[in-house]
Amino acid sequence: MGAAVAVLDKARSVTVLCHVQPDADTIGSGLALAQVLHRRGVPVRVSFAEPAELPVSMRSLPGTEFLVPASEVPREVDVLVAVDCGSAGRLGALRDRLDGARTSLVLDHHRSNTRFGMVNVIDETAESTAGLVARVLDAWGESIDRGVAHCLYAGLVTDTGSFKWARPGSHALAERLLATGIDGAAITRTLMDTHPFGWLPMLSRVLATAQLDRDAAAGAGLVHVFVRRTDMDGVRSEEVESVVDIVRTTAEAQVTAVFKESRIESGQWTVSLRSHDGADGTPGVDVARVAMALGGGGHRYAAGYSATGTPDELIVALKSELGR
C-alpha cells in the first residue's frame, strides 16, 4: 500500500480511469478516490471510455460530479490511476492517456493483471478493488466518511455477489462501512435487484436459446447463451450484464458463457465466463486461464474476453480452449 500512498500523496492533479462497460467496483473505487482527493484539495476527474453514459443503477453514487466524458480527459496529467483494470486494453479508447501521465498507478485485484502501470498495486486475494482502495486509504491515514463508504460498499457488495463469494475480511469491511450510516440494503437493491419491465421479455428470449454441453471442459460441462443486438433494444447495459448470474445457476454445468453482441458493430462480441466447484468439491475450471488464452483475463471463477466471428466460430474456439 505504501507505493500507492507515495504516488497519491504527491499528486498535483489526478485522472482516475475506470474500465469499459463499468461495474460498481470500478466506478465505486474511482469515485471513492476522487472524493478523498478533492477533500485534500487535489484537482481530480473520473472517466471511462464506453458507454457514453454512466449506467442508471450507479447514478446515485456519491461523487458523480467528478465524472467527465471521455472526450474531456486531458492528454497530460500528473498522476493517472487505473482502477479495477486488468490490462491497458480495458481502458478502451482512453488507453492512450497512459502515455501523457507523469506517473501511472494501477490498483486492481485481478490475477491476470498485466502490470501496465509505472506503479502497480495488485492484490489477487482481495475480493474487490474497493476493498483494496479501503486499505490504501487506511495506509494513507485518510478517513472513510459516509460518501466514500457508500462507493466502497457498492464495489464490495457487487463483486462478492451480495457476499456469496466473500473472503476473509469482507464482512469486517462491510460492518465498518455500514457503521458510517449508509443504507446497505438500499444500495444493494438499487445496484442488483432493480430492473425495468423490459428486462423480463429480454430474459425470456435469451434464456430460450440456452444450450448445454455436458461433455465440454473435459466433462465439467458448459452452458451458454447468446445475447444478440436485437435482444438489447430498449434494455440497459445492466440488464445485459445480469444474464450471466442467472445462467450460471445451471446445476449440470460448471462453466457458463454468455456471448453479448456489440450494439454498434456486427460480429463483435464480449464474453462473460463463470465457473464453480463441482458437487464433489473438485476445483472449478480456471476460466481466467481460458480468457487469457483468448485475449482477456479475470479471476479463476469469473473472467471475460472480446472476440470477433460468428456464433459457431466463437463456440468452437471456446470449447477448444476449455478442452486443453
pTM: 0.88
**CATH number of the CATH domain containing 116:** 3.90.1640.10
Same-domain check for residues 170 and 222: no
Give the CA radius of gyration of the chain.
19
**CATH number of the CATH domain containing 209:** 3.10.310.30
Neighbours of 198 (CB within 10 A): 14
Last residue of a domain, one of 193, 223, 245: 193
Supply the DSSP string of 238-277, one letter for each residue.
HHHHHHHHHHTT-TT-SEEEEEEE-SSSTTEEEEEEEE--
Same-domain check for residues 136 and 207: no
In the chain, the number of structural domains is 2
pLDDT tens readout for residues 146-204: 999 999 999 999 999 899 888 899 999 999 999 999 999 999 999 998 888 999 999 99
Same-domain check for residues 223 and 159: no
Same-domain check for residues 147 and 275: no
Neighbours of 13 (CB within 10 A): 16
pLDDT tens readout for residues 271-288: 999 998 877 777 889 999
Last residue of a domain, one of 169, 193, 217: 193
Same-domain check for residues 235 and 151: no
Same-domain check for residues 14 and 97: yes
b/e code 129-145 from CB counts within 10 Å (16+ = b): bbbbbbbbbeebebebe
Same-domain check for residues 82 and 163: yes
Last residue of a domain, one of 193, 212, 238: 193
The mean pLDDT value for 208-217 works out to: 96
Mean pLDDT score of the chain, rounded to an integer?
94
pLDDT tens readout for residues 35-64: 999 999 999 999 999 888 899 999 999 999
Same-domain check for residues 36 and 184: yes
Predicted pLDDT at 183: 97
Domain interval for residue 317: 198-323
Say how many CA atoms lie within 13 Å of 217 toward its Cβ: 29
